[in-house]
Amino acid sequence: MKTLLLVIFILASFLSAFSQSSEKKIKYIEREITTDTGKIIKVRTIDDTQTDIGDPVPLFIFRGEDNKDYTNSDFANKTLVINFWITSCGPCKRELKRIENELLGKYPSNKFAFISVGPNVSPEELAKFKKSADIKFELFRDPTGDSFNKFAYSAFPRNFVISPEGKIVYQGIGYTDSTYQKLLSVISETIE
pLDDT digits (tens, 9 = 90+) for 5-48: 444 544 444 444 444 333 445 565 565 666 667 777 666 555 56
pTM given for the model: 0.77
Q: Where are the domains of the chain?
A: 2-191
- Per-residue pLDDT at 106: 96
Across the chain, what does the average pLDDT equal? 84
Q: Does domain 2-191 have CATH number 3.40.50.10800?
A: no
Distance CA 187, CA 192 (A): 9
Which alpha helices (DSSP H) does the chain contain, by range?
A: 2-22, 90-102, 123-133, 177-191
Residue numbers in the chain where pLDDT is lower than 50: 4-7, 9-24
- Is the CB of residue 174 less than 8 Å from the CB of residue 32? yes
Q: Which of 122, 120, 146, 140 is nearest to 60 (CA)?
A: 146
Work out the burial of residue 149: count CB atoms within 10 Å of its CB; fewer than 13 is exposed, 13-18 middle, 19 or more buried: middle
